Structure formats: structure tokens, C-alpha cells
Amino acid sequence: MVTGVIMRVRGLKGFQTYMNKVVRAVPKESDKLGKRLSKQIVMFAKEKAGPLGSGTGALKRSIKYEKKGNNYVVSAGGNIPKSQRPEHAYYQEFGFSGHWIHSSQATGNMKRDMVAKGKRFAFVKQYFPYMAPAFRKVQNRLRTELNRTGNKIIGA
């Protein structure tokens, strides 16, 4: 009675060694890829979120990436002291309906302009997304980045 099959293939030692190297390289190179893509998202988001004439630059300074577990997370408006946190990070990205603000709520150049002109209220309605366009820009480069990482892994 036959209870099993044993097959021995010889001459594959070099291939096995190569595959072991590939398997060890995948986590390291994918981590590098995640870090590189996160840095690019941060860079492009900061370009879009820079002080646009009425800002203080707090939003731009708050855009960061960090590693959490096996993932990289890009965030804005968090991970900084509450006194320096730009409360408008969400509204800048997703928008809001037009509304009036008091001069005490204004920041940066808008506040200076309101004080200089003696205005107590201003109507605000614009928003300038910064994260989504940065993500789309990096997403367009994803194929190139994946090819680059794949070539490093296989040693091409």
C-alpha cells in the first residue's frame, strides 16, 4: 500500500536561495515604498495648503506623516499642541457654506485687513482642498513607484 509520494528535484539550490532573498526583501522594500509615498503626499499637500494670503501657515506646519503599526498615516491639524492646532483643517479640505465671522475669529492677513479697515465682520466662503489633490498626484505616480520597488526586490 502506498501512503505518500516523495519527489526530489536537484539543481534548484540557486533558485531557492534567490527566492529566500526576495521573500526577505518584500517587507523592507514595501515599508520604504509606504514611507516614500507618504513623504510625497505631505510635500504636495504642503504646497497646496501654504498661507494663501489670509493664513498663518499653521495648517501647512501641521501636515505630517507617521508610522502606525505597518501603515503610514498622513494627517493635518492633529498631533500638535492644541494652542497651535489649526481648527480649520477639516473645513479647508472639505469646505463649508458661506458665513459671517467676527474679527476675533479671523487669523493672519484677514485679521490684519479687518482691523486696518475697521471691519468687525467678514463673509467667508472659499475653501482650498490640499490633501485630496496631493493624494491624486501621488496616485498618478503609483505605477512608476511600484515598478521601481518591484525592480529593487527582484534585483533588476
Query: Does residue 10 fall inside a structural domain?
Result: no
What is the Cα–Cα distance from 30 to 38, expressed in whole angstroms?
A: 12
The number of folded domains in the chain is 1
Query: Does residue 103 fall inside a structural domain?
Result: no
pLDDT-based confidence at 53, cuts 50/70/90? Answer: low
Residue ranges making up the domain that contains 72: 19-95+128-146
Predicted TM-score (pTM) of this structure: 0.70
Query: Does residue 24 fall inside a structural domain?
Result: yes
pLDDT tens-digit series, residues 54-97:
567 778 888 899 999 989 999 887 766 666 666 777 777 877 77
pLDDT tens-digit series, residues 95-141:
777 778 888 887 777 788 888 888 888 887 777 788 999 999 999 99
Query: Does residue 40 fall inside a structural domain?
Result: yes
